[in-house]
Amino acid sequence: MAIISPTLTVSVACGVLALYVISRLLRGNGDRRSLPPGPKGLPVLGNISDLPKPGEPEWLHWLKHKDLYGPISSVTVLGQTMIIINDLEIAFELMRDRAAIHSSRPSQIFSGEIVGWKNATAMSQYNDVWKIHRKNIAKVASTNTSLKMFNRVQEVESAHFLLNLLDSPNDLFDHIRREAGSVILKTTYGYTAESHGRDPFVDLAGETMAGFAEAVIPGKWMVDVMPFLRYLPDGFPGTAFKGTGRQMADTLKQCVDQPYEFVKQQMREKRHKTSFLSQAIEDIGTDAEMEFVHKWSALSLFTGGADTTVSALMTFFLGIAVFPEVQKKAAEELDRVIGSGRLPISTDRDNLPYIMAIVKETHRWHPIGPMGLPHASSAEDTCRDYRIPKGAIIFANAWWFTHDPAVYADPMAFRPERFLDTPTHKAEPDPRSITFGFGRRVCPGRYVADNALFITIAQTLAVFSIGKLVENGKVVEPEVKFEPGMVSHPAPYRISIKPRSKMHEELIKAAEQEYPWEESDAKELENVKW
């Protein structure tokens, strides 16, 4: 067998790279109007060294551009222009008011083509297929009837969350993941997750979303800026991404196909529970084209709701532990409005303004997507006399928009009262107009997500006391630190969680009678052929 020499390998790779770069540069030479300002790039490579470093929070990296270059800036890597927005007015102008040309998604080779995320609603191009996905999800996530169905499921799983937290408070993060996964699995697939131990589908979804968060990091995968690398044989320099991509693709395929076949099997056997997917199959059918749409709409609803809820709830617990005065005010409102004989439910929402302010502050204090999902321009445009080229990738710094001290006083503090009108204070803007996305790409499941946060936050604060740990007589200060990524989570922390009193402990235990546990579908899922 012939052996390819290292010298030949490098020569071929360099030749292909040169041809690719020349073609990109020639395509970008047609319009000499100025791009938004930014750092001076290297010859040929452009601003490749100006991208966020591994482990660096992207929102803080790009915020530096605001002082250096102004509210709108740009970088260009191998001919690909990225627009960075650090001004909310400009973000609304481009992505909301001019949504017709700034609502697509970047064509990412690694996450989209190699792993397969291009088929998910949130990552698909702005086209007719995306509109069908969006319409399908809106049916289950935006109508009053479907929201009421979510209410009951969320109340059940929140009560189970309280029971698990009472039993093992040190496993807070696991309980949050289980609750978030259980709610969205039940409503999307009619699947009942394991109540206490690990659930295979919740674990699979967690692995899938961890892969997604890694796959979409801008600048991480060289194949995104040099697409020709995907055509080089395995073993060539720069092709290590291929093995990682295959593993992620296999996991994603299982997460798409296995639960879909589970629902179809349950329907054939007349044992299915009403869910988003079962209703879609009954209403529209399962021809090849619609089957594809059903699979990915369901996957998008599930993955979009589970991991984001996990991030938000982890942020809530951290904020409450670090700022204990918030819990005192919440307990006063809950005791006055709800009393001590029951748990709060979704219909109490309008009567609990401070709890709703906590929900808003959870969104604001650390947005789950600090840089949001990037938009892409489908046509040439201008903004503030700067050129926005067709195909440009647009990033809006949602973290800065919710931490601008000119808008939010003392932005690093967790202060829910900022959202309440008083005779001496005008309520600050609702951050959800930012944190759920912009324009036609606003999150279709935002009402469901918001209600899930309200129910869990209200019930938790009604019965638990959350604070800092004390070990060997010393207070353990939880670190307020958030990890980089498209969906950002707090770094691991430890806190104290105890029932507010013996009476509240009994109220938690009584929830098991009102909201009994159900048998898991885990074994059924594992037996499904996909």
pLDDT confidence tier of residue 342, bands split at 50, 70 and 90: very high
Average pLDDT of the chain is 89
Rounded mean pLDDT, 71-79:
94
- Biggest CA–CA distance in the chain, Å, is 84
Contacts of 384 (CB under 8 A, 6+ apart): 36, 71, 72, 90
CA separation, residue 186 to residues 121, 202, 229, 309 (Å): 20, 11, 41, 15
In angstroms, the first-to-last Cα distance of the chain is 38
Supply the pLDDT for residue 127. Answer: 84
What is the b/e burial string over 441-474, where b = at least 16 CB atoms within 10 angstroms of the residue's CB? Answer: bebbbbbbbbbbbbbbbbbbbbbbbbbebeeeee
- How large is the average pLDDT for residues 492-511? 97
Instruction: Estimate the crossing angle of helix 288-322 against helix 172-189, to 10 degrees.
Output: 150
pLDDT at 285: 65
Of 201, 183, 180, 191, give the one whose Cα is nearest residue 306.
180
Within 10 Å of residue 222's Cβ, how many Cβ atoms?
Answer: 17
pLDDT of residue 171: 96
Q: How confident is the model at residue 251 (pLDDT cuts 50, 70, 90)?
A: very high
**3-class secondary-structure state, position 186:** helix
The predicted-structure confidence for 432-463, as pLDDT tens digits, reads as follows: 999 999 999 988 878 888 999 999 999 999 99
pLDDT tens digits along 273-326: 888 889 888 876 667 778 888 889 888 888 777 888 999 999 999 999 999 999
Q: Which of the residue ranges 3-12, 157-166, 339-348, 449-458 would you say has the lowest mean pLDDT?
A: 3-12
Q: Which CATH superfamily is domain 10-77+107-418+440-526 in?
A: Cytochrome P450 (1.10.630.10)
For residue 355, the SS3 value is helix
Least confident window among 268-277, 341-350, 406-415: 268-277
- What is the share, in percent, of the chain residues with pLDDT greater than 90? 64
Q: How confident is the model at residue 11 (pLDDT cuts 50, 70, 90)?
A: very low
State yes or no: pLDDT of 9 exceeds 50. no
- How far is 193 from 359, CA to CA, in rounded Å? 26
In this prediction the pTM is: 0.89
Do 321 and 466 touch, CB atoms closer than 8 A? yes
**Quick one: which H or E segment has residue 187?**
helix 172-189
Q: What residue type is assigned to position 320 of the chain?
A: I
Annotated binding residue at 443? yes
- pLDDT surpassing 60 at residue 362: yes
Q: Considering just the CA atoms, what is the radius of gyration of the chain in Å? A: 24
Helix locations, 216-352, DSSP H: 241-268, 276-284, 288-322, 324-337
pLDDT reported for residue 422: 93
Q: What is the pLDDT of residue 427?
A: 97
C-alpha span between 172 and 469 (Å, rounded): 14
Is the pLDDT reported for residue 413 higher than 80? Answer: yes
Q: Which pLDDT does position 139 carry in this prediction?
A: 72
pLDDT of residue 7: 38
Structure tokens at 499: 């029932």
Query: Residue 510: its pLDDT value, please?
Result: 96
Does residue 222 carry a pLDDT above 70? yes
Taking the C-alpha atoms of residue 327 and residue 320, their distance in angstroms, rounded to an integer, is: 6
pLDDT value at position 121? 85
* Domain residue extents for the chain: 10-77+107-418+440-526
pLDDT of 30: 47
Listed in order, strand segments (DSSP E) in 141-240 are none
Q: Is 219 a residue whose pLDDT tops 90?
A: no
User: Does the pLDDT at position 398 exceed 60?
Assistant: yes
For residue 488, CA distances in Å to 55, 57, 366, 472 come to 12, 9, 8, 32
Each residue of 460-500: pLDDT tens digit?
999 999 999 999 999 999 999 999 988 899 999 999 999 99
Residue 425 has pLDDT above 60, yes or no: yes
Q: Is the pLDDT of residue 148 over 80?
A: no
